Amino acid sequence: MRCPSCGESDTRVVDSRDLDDAATIRRRRECATCSTRFTTYERVESARLSVVKRNGERQEFDAAKLARGLERALWRRPVAPDAATRAADEIEAIIRAQGINEVPSSRIGEMAMDRLRLLDQIAYVRFLSVYQSLDDIEQLKREVDELYAARTDEAPGQTSLDLVAAARRAPVPPTRRPARR
Ligand SMILES: [Zn+2]
């Protein structure tokens, strides 16, 4: 930090304190050459968070975009209207709490699937088939079998293939919700 009086770059901090919001630090500095004292403010810059895609491309993290993806999976499912937004916000908060500035898109996908699995199984299977490119029906069936194995309230007579069929009946994610009647 250059002295504003003589331009000397050798200055020392003589006092440093947090301001009220704790996001700003005020420092008093003194020039080593001319002893001029001046004040600097240091502020936290909201950290950038990049998503690293499978092909190595980086994109700014976009919670709204993530919420839209979750919303498509949850379309017409019996969940709270803000379920997708809340899940996206939670995912962002967890990633930011780790203090990292890059996150692989696959990690976000896993976190999204974890939440969908708890929210709604049909939504989970929809998300799986779209985001994991589970073109192979056997692979999809295995995933669903695992879901069933973990379930204690399995509906009698319902098989994993029923669930796959139910997910596939409306597999095309709409781009926007139709107006409610
Ligand atoms: Zn100076």
**What spacing in Å lies between the alpha carbon of 44 and ligand 1's midpoint?**
27
d(CA 29, ligand 1 centre) in Å: 10
State in Å: Cα 38 to ligand 1 middle: 10
Label the pairing between strands 24-31 and 37-43.
antiparallel
Q: Compute, in angstroms, the gap from residue 12 CA to the centroid of ligand 1.
A: 11
DSSP string, 112-123: HHHHHHHH-HHH
Q: For residue 87, give both structure tokens.
A: 């899940």
Give residue 28 CA to ligand 1 midpoint distance, Å. Answer: 14
* Triad 114, 116, 121: Cα angle to 5°: 115
133 CB burial (10 A radius; 0-12, 13-18, 19+):
exposed
Ligand 1 centre to CA of 67 (Å) is 53
CA of 142 relative to ligand 1 center, distance in Å: 71
Sign of the torsion formed by the C-alpha atoms of 139, 140, 145 and 146: positive
Tens-digit pLDDT profile for the chain (181 aa)?
Answer: 889 999 988 999 998 887 766 667 889 999 999 999 999 887 765 668 899 988 889 998 988 889 988 998 898 899 998 999 999 988 988 888 887 889 998 889 889 988 998 898 888 888 887 766 545 556 666 766 776 666 555 444 445 556 666 666 554 555 544 444 4
pLDDT of 181 reads 44
What is residue 24's predicted lDDT score, i.e. its pLDDT? 73
Q: Per-domain residue ranges for the chain? A: 11-43, 50-169
How far, in Å, from the CA of 31 to the mean position of ligand 1? 5
What pLDDT was estimated at residue 139?
64
* Each residue's pLDDT tens digit, 26-63: 899 999 999 999 998 877 656 688 999 888 899 989 88
User: What separation in Å is there between the alpha carbon of 30 and the centre of ligand 1?
Assistant: 8
